[in-house]
């Protein structure tokens, strides 16, 4: 039996919790004039920004839940979606310096998701044994 590494549990729960909080905060700030003003400065249309925001939060929640279940695709989904979001942000954000904390968090999370113990847990044998309680 391959036990889920604590680092994977912590990362997955942080992703789930932070995405849930962001979902609530983003919804509450929909009509905030300051938020709308900042979003209007981007070259992307505001509705597209909201679509990407909510889709990203949904993807992160799904990935976090799937990581807890040992699904290997979940960590790749999180990394791919985050990398795409960062790339889009770097090209379109008027406040690029504000992206630095997010880049650091992304790097740390990626590091923990691809450590040897995490790789073992996410391997087909590891996930099967953990899910079956063998």
Quote the CA–CA distance of 94 and 79 in Å, as a whole number. 23
DSSP-based three-state secondary structure for 130: helix
Checking if the pLDDT of 134 tops 70, the result is no
The string of pLDDT tens digits covering residues 93-128 is 777 788 899 999 999 999 999 999 999 999 987 555
Q: Is residue 1 part of a domain?
A: no
Predicted confidence at residue 131, as pLDDT, reads: 47
Q: Is residue 48 part of a domain?
A: yes
The string of pLDDT tens digits covering residues 65-81 is 999 999 999 999 999 99
Q: Is residue 34 part of a domain?
A: yes
Checking if the pLDDT of 132 tops 80, the result is no
Q: Is residue 56 part of a domain?
A: yes
Quote the CA–CA distance of 4 and 64 in Å, as a whole number. 13
> For the residues 34-47, what does the mean pLDDT come to?
86
pLDDT class of 15 with cuts at 50, 70, 90: very high
Count how many domains the chain has: 1
In the block, which residue shows the tokens 């630095």? 100
Predicted confidence at residue 16, as pLDDT, reads: 97
Q: Is residue 88 part of a domain?
A: yes
| Percent of the chain surpassing pLDDT 70 | 93
**Boundaries of domain holding 46:** 6-132
């Amino acid at each position: 039996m391959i036990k889920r590494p604590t680092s994977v549990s912590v990362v997955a729960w942080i992703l789930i919790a932070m995405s849930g909080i962001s979902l609530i905060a983003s919804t509450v700030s929909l009509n905030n004039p300051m938020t709308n003003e900042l979003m209007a400065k981007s070259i992307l249309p505001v509705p597209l920004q909201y679509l990407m925001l909510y889709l990203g939060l949904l993807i992160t929640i799904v990935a976090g839940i799937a990581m807890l279940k040992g699904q290997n695709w979940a960590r790749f989904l999180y990394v791919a979606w985050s990398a795409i979001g960062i790339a889009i942000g770097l090209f379109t954000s008027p406040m690029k310096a504000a992206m630095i904390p997010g880049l650091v968090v992304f790097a740390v999370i990626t590091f923990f998701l691809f450590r040897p113990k995490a790789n073992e847990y996410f391997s087909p044998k590891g996930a099967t044994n953990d899910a079956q309680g063998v």
